[in-house]
Amino acid sequence: MHTLTIRPGKPEDIPQVFELIKELAIYEKALDQVETSVEQLTEDAFGEEPLYGLIVAEADHVLVGISIFYYRYSTWKGKRLYLEDILVTESFRGKGIGTKLFEATARHAHKHKCSGMNWLVLDWNEPAINFYKKFNAAIDPEWRLVGINAQQLETFVK
């Protein structure tokens, strides 16, 4: 039996976090879209102006899961926590680790006086959809993710 610890992430966790991010990208068939690096992830989480929060699941000194989140602002609802990703490595799935990470993230949101949490889920990712349904999460079919990439930004500002 592994000893599991759920705790805030630390700078020295980032190389393992990056490996988990790549594992998620492979699962979502999008490894070629990973543009970040260990250095960027470290700066963005632990630099002078942190951009995201990190909760990790550690089993025997190895990270087996992560929750990455940040704050956003809703003009209707105020301060919200946006759950960017929650991931448990494949060999540790089905052991309740995702639930513990989700609950720790929700407690963080509550402690920091967020009016709620939001996140996206791919429409084909039935295991994730079923996971979120366990928490009575509302899955809104009307809203669509919209964005532009760095090259489009460059073109726009010229």
Which sequence spans correspond to the domains of the chain?
4-157
Amino acid at 40: Q
- Full pLDDT tens readout for the chain, 158 residues: 579 999 999 999 999 999 999 999 998 899 999 999 999 999 999 999 999 999 999 999 999 999 999 999 999 999 999 999 999 999 999 999 999 999 999 999 999 999 999 999 888 888 888 888 988 998 888 887 788 888 898 998 98
Question: Could you say which of 52, 70, 82, 132 is catalytic?
Answer: 132
Q: How far apart are CA 33 and CA 149, in angstroms?
A: 11
Is 132 annotated as catalytic? yes
- CATH classification code of 4-157: 3.40.630.30
| Dihedral pair phi/psi, residue 10, rounded to 5° | -130, 160
**Concatenated DSSP letters of the chain:** -PPEEEEE--GGGHHHHHHHHHHHHHHTT-GGG----HHHHHHHHHSSS---EEEEEEETTEEEEEEEEEEEEETTTEEEEEEEEEEE-GGGTTSSHHHHHHHHHHHHHHHTT-S-EE----TT-HHHHHHHHTTT----SS-------HHHHHHHH-
